[in-house]
Amino acid sequence: MQQLSIDQTDRRILEILQKVPGVNASAIGEQIGLSQSACWRRVQRLRDEGIIKDQPVKLDREKVGLNTMVMAHVKLTSHGRSNLSEFADAVIEFPEVLDCYLLLGSVDFLLRIVTEDIKAYEQFFFEKLSLLPGIQEVNSSIVMSDIKHTTVLPI
């Protein structure tokens, strides 16, 4: 993957956009000493080049009733490993799975899953996750509290 060239001004713009989603070009320009139009052009270029992927709304999962977060380590059978994409394609369809990472090591995938409660996770596990082909083992850890969770990259 080609790394695109970004200068210090671009980095300052990206830092502000990460910390204050939805901030407009005028406000960014005031903070970094650029005109609104110059700032807007830079933001647009960063979007066009794919550096800015999106600016999602951040929700408090507990306030919307998703009180349980689970980290699940998934190990596939040797046959299952021959088709990692089949597992990945299936997991992408589960709205309960917020993140899915392919790992190098003793397990194949790490999933971050949210549900209403432990009972809902149990239902998700038995009715969806454990039914996927090629699974050898799933080790689930319940998250007790969020110490740090961020989408802000240290640029």
Q: From CA 140, how far away is CA 119, in angstroms rounded?
A: 14
What fold, for 8-48? Arc Repressor Mutant, subunit A (1.10.10)
pLDDT tens digits along 16-59: 998 887 899 999 999 999 999 999 999 999 999 989 988 777 78
pLDDT tens digits along 110-137: 999 999 999 999 999 999 999 998 999 9
Spell out the long-range contacts of 8-14 with Cβ–Cβ below 8 A and sequence spacing 24 or more. 9/34, 9/42, 10/42, 10/46, 10/51, 11/155, 13/39, 13/42, 13/43, 13/46, 14/46, 14/51, 14/52, 14/153, 14/155
This prediction's pTM: 0.79
pLDDT value of position 90: 95
Structure tokens at 98: 């917020």
Task: Tell me the pLDDT of the chain averaged across its residues.
Answer: 91
What fold, for 68-142? Alpha-Beta Plaits (3.30.70)
Query: Domain-by-domain residue ranges, the chain?
Result: 8-48, 68-142
Check whether 153 has a pLDDT greater than 90. no
Spell out the long-range contacts of 40-46 with Cβ–Cβ below 8 A and sequence spacing 24 or more. 42/9, 42/10, 42/13, 43/13, 43/17, 46/6, 46/10, 46/13, 46/14
